[in-house]
């Protein structure tokens, strides 16, 4: 569908407008009484969310690619059907394949309470089957208001159970200076530290940053609070359908090693990711669905 077709069928006057974005890719601009937001059909990727009067909530790389087949760096990458490297095939893309594919628009709605709801979907086809030989459907429900709520609904459309599924809403948050923030809510939780060969440790106090941090927190349904003294705000990250949370900042060396990540970009971002990872993988019986939800708000 062209942008004109999309506006004809799904546009909502001044509230939901489709445009050709970077790389000529179709994107959705959302503007309502609460906030503005931006979503690319590539990856079903929320690339911006900004409550009126607030600084941007989501961090985006200013040197990332916008082309089908390449993940967008920043915003909320949708990770499925595995988190991290493929469990036994290094030739398969890290973090699954759905963030590199074009999703379709299923519905747009101006809710009575003033929020805006967008539904996107991705179903298996010959290209996904070539990577992962299973039948599935994904729906992404994005609700933009005083909060940003994103739900990934995965459904097994095949006739065999899918085991060992991983997923994430891999959210990049804007912060004033990562060296000055603290993330509360995970005190006392065990985590696997990727930068220390996945050694298991227990979180003591709030999470602070002075080097690369890449941790999978285990057995947690906790709300995370990102305390930002520079931007003088707290970002609240709550979730449903997940018992694991990933916290990541690449710091200096890893930032320099990523071609689509500005060398100094690490200081203005942190990832708090709502995941199904590590000991939190899931299965779907034929016809069964799972919903993974992240809710973000600014205090
Ligand atoms: O979620 C943290 C992480 O797994 C890090 O290890 C790092 O690889 C990050 O994801 C980004 O991965 P990407 O494939 O998007 O470059």
pLDDT at 56: 98
With H, G, I as helix, E, B as strand and everything else as coil, classify residue 105.
strand
pLDDT at 185: 98
Of 134, 273, 290, 299, catalytic: 273
pLDDT at 73: 98
pLDDT at 83: 98
Which sign does the torsion angle of CA 64, 233, 299, 207 carry? positive
Question: Ligand 1 pocket, 193 CB below 6 A?
Answer: no
pLDDT at 225: 98
* C-alpha span between 109 and 92 (Å, rounded): 36
Whether pTM > 0.95 for this model: the answer is yes
- Is residue 273 part of the annotated active site? The answer reads yes
Q: Per the structure block, which two tokens stand in for 137?
A: 């459907």
For ligand 1, atom 14, the nearest C-alpha belongs to 94
* C-alpha span between 279 and 282 (Å, rounded): 9
Divide the 299 residues of the chain into consecutive groups of 10 and give the mean pLDDT of each group.
96 97 98 98 98 98 96 98 95 97 98 98 97 98 98 98 98 98 98 98 98 98 98 98 98 98 98 98 98 98
What are the backbone dihedrals phi and psi of residue 93, each rounded to the nearest 5 degrees, phi first?
A: -65, 145
Q: Per the structure block, which two tokens stand in for 211?
A: 């080097």
pLDDT at 93: 97
Question: Ligand 1 pocket, 280 CB below 6 A?
Answer: no
- Is residue 146 part of the annotated active site? The answer reads no
**Residue carrying the six token digits 């999978």:** 216
Q: Per the structure block, which two tokens stand in for 91?
A: 């030739």
Q: Where do the H-state alpha helices sit in the chain?
A: 3-10, 126-131, 251-257
Question: Ligand 1 pocket, 94 CB below 6 A?
Answer: yes
Other beta carbons within 10 angstroms of residue 193's beta carbon come to: 14
3-state DSSP percent of the chain in helix, strand and coil, to 5: 15, 45, 40
What are the backbone dihedrals phi and psi of residue 206, each rounded to the nearest 5 degrees, phi first?
A: -75, 160
């Amino acid at each position: 569908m062209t942008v004109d077709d999309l506006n004809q069928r799904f546009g909502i006057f001044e509230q939901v407008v489709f445009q050709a974005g970077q790389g000529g890719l179709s994107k959705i601009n959302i503007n309502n009484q609460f906030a503005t937001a931006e979503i690319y059909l590539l990856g079903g990727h929320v690339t911006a969310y900004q409550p009126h009067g607030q600084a941007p909530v989501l961090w985006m790389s200013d040197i990332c690619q916008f082309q089908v087949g390449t993940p967008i760096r920043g915003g909320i990458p949708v990770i499925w059907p595995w988190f991290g490297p493929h469990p036994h095939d290094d030739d398969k893309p890290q973090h699954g394949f759905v963030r590199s594919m074009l999703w379709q628009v299923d519905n747009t709605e101006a809710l009575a309470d003033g929020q805006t709801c967008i539904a996107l979907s991705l179903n298996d086809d010959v290209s996904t089957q070539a990577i992962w030989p299973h039948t599935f459907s994904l729906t992404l429900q994005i609700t933009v208001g005083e909060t940003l709520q994103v739900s990934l609904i995965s459904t097994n459309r095949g006739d065999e159970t899918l085991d060992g599924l991983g997923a994430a809403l891999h959210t990049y948050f804007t912060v004033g200076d990562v060296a000055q923030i603290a993330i509360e809510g995970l005190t006392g939780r065990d985590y696997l530290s990727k930068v220390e060969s996945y050694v298991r440790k227990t979180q003591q106090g709030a999470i602070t940053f002075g080097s690369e941090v890449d941790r999978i927190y285990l057995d947690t349904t906790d709300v995370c609070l990102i305390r930002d003294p520079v931007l003088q705000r707290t970002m609240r990250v709550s979730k449903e359908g997940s018992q694991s949370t990933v916290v990541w900042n690449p710091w200096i060396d890893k930032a320099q090693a990523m071609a689509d990540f500005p060398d100094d970009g690490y200081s203005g971002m942190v990832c708090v990711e709502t995941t199904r990872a590590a000991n939190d993988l899931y299965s779907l019986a034929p016809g069964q669905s799972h919903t993974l939800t992240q809710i973000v708000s600014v205090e």
